[in-house]
Amino acid sequence: MAVIITLQGVVPADIAVGLSPLAELMACLHSVAEPEHHLDVRPWLEHVSTALSEETRSLLAVYAPLWNRRRCRALLPLELPLGRTLEQELARLEALPLDEFVTVVAPGVHGGFFDTGDLLTDESVRGAYVLSCERRSFSRGELARRLVETPEQVRAGLLDLLRRCAAEFFDAEWARVRHRLESECARVRARIQALPLPEALASLSPNATVGRNPPAVVFDKLQSLRADPRGRRCLLVPSVHARPHLIVKDDTSYPVVVHFPVEGAGLAERATLAQVRLRLAILAEPARLELCRHLVNEPITTSDLAARTGMTAPQVSRHLGRLREVGLLTSRRDGRLVYHRLDTDCLMRLGVDVLTSIIR
């Protein structure tokens, strides 16, 4: 399964890179709703949790389907220009014709796959839609019912909630991350000008590959989607809080949007899925796992490891070489001796990398 953006006939002018505070707010709300997906921002999540008023907390539970799983297209840029303020983006959402609002929000409320094409005109489709949402969860069913019966109230409540979140925590967070996102936009624009488009877009994710015939970028996702931005533009929107998720939205009425994560300052580079698999395979070998029990406690030489484990020195050297190849071993020379030790920071990150690779 993969998300493929075909780039046949697409030129750099068809790609726009810019900021969207509303998209970043949605990413924040996703991490608040799904904290187990975002282990590296736990302190920030705890801070936000204490800042939320009870009324805001209650409303977040009501509207959570819009950002829990299948991010709502209405909360990503619907058109150019990028770089609007949050209030300008909210005003754009408020100005959407009501039927367009329902159409663009309904898939996010459902969170799965349901053909909403006749939702506005066919009563039986509306009933089936609400029932399908109810089967997914009670909260989705309730929000779906309100969306088809009183869409104006749903929109007003959503806008009120987003403005509450801005006042209670997001305005301060946007001020903190905006410069980092602007810098990332500049880097991506430079890559688009310097590299073939498939390579430039593949740089947005460590798990992306380049397709050649036709030219395309392929993102490894638990989703099957083929997007063609010709005639509609492709909007690239960086995010700090989207980590580790890369989101691609392809709704025919709007531009293709890629909401991609930016690694935070000071964070180690995320391992690719292939690196995670290899590290797990290396550690799964019983002899190497036994060596790790000695390597984690203190720096130790090859000969000492051989004496402790009963292996020959060449056997130990081969196992150490495999651990070093995947970045799990550090070595330092002291005179004639070389001391080895397990890289515990890398090992501790492995658990997060496994989770990140699964949910990316």
Q: Map out the domains of the chain as residue ranges.
A: 2-261, 273-359
Do residues 66 and 22 touch, judged by C-beta distance below 8 A?
no
Give me the pLDDT at residue 11, please: 95
> Residue 21: which of 114, 97, 87 has the closest Cα?
87
Does the pLDDT of residue 266 top 70, yes or no? no
What pLDDT is recorded for position 296?
Answer: 85
The phi and psi torsions of 81 (rounded to 5 degrees) equal: -85, 155
Confidence of residue 360 (pLDDT cuts 50, 70, 90): low
Its pTM stands at 0.78
Label residue 264 by pLDDT band (50, 70, 90): low
**Residue type at 335?**
G
* Cβ neighbours of residue 226 closer than 8 Å, sequence gap 6 or more: 3, 4, 6
Confidence tier at 275 by pLDDT (50, 70, 90) = confident
Instruction: Give the mean model confidence (pLDDT) for residues 17-37.
Output: 93
Tokens of 190: 């430079």
Question: Above 50 in pLDDT, residue 265?
Answer: no
pLDDT at 268: 47
Q: Which residue bears the tokens 């921002």? A: 41
d(CA 125, CA 123): 5
pLDDT at 105: 97
pLDDT of residue 270: 61
User: For position 269, what pLDDT does the model report?
Assistant: 55
pLDDT in tens, 80-137: 999 999 999 999 999 999 999 999 999 999 998 899 989 999 999 999 999 999 999 9
Q: What is the pLDDT of residues 142-172, one digit of tens each?
A: 999 999 999 999 999 999 999 999 999 999 9
> CA-CA distance, 145 to 131, in Å (whole number)?
9
4 bridge partner residues: 218, 226
pLDDT band at 260 (very low <50, low <70, confident <90, very high): very high
CATH number of 273-359: 1.10.1200.10, 3.10.580.10, 1.10.10.10, 3.40.50.970? 1.10.10.10
Region 27-40: mean pLDDT is 86
Phi/psi for 177 (5° steps) reads -100, -10
**pLDDT > 90: what percent of the chain?**
73
Average pLDDT for the chain: 91
**204/70: higher pLDDT:** 204
Instruction: Render pLDDT for 279-308 as a digit per residue (tens, 0 to 9).
Output: 899 999 999 999 998 998 788 999 999 999
Quote the tokens at residue 273: 């899925």
Residue 267 tokens read as 């964070």
Rounded mean pLDDT of 322-329? 91
- Percent of the chain residues topping a pLDDT of 70: 96
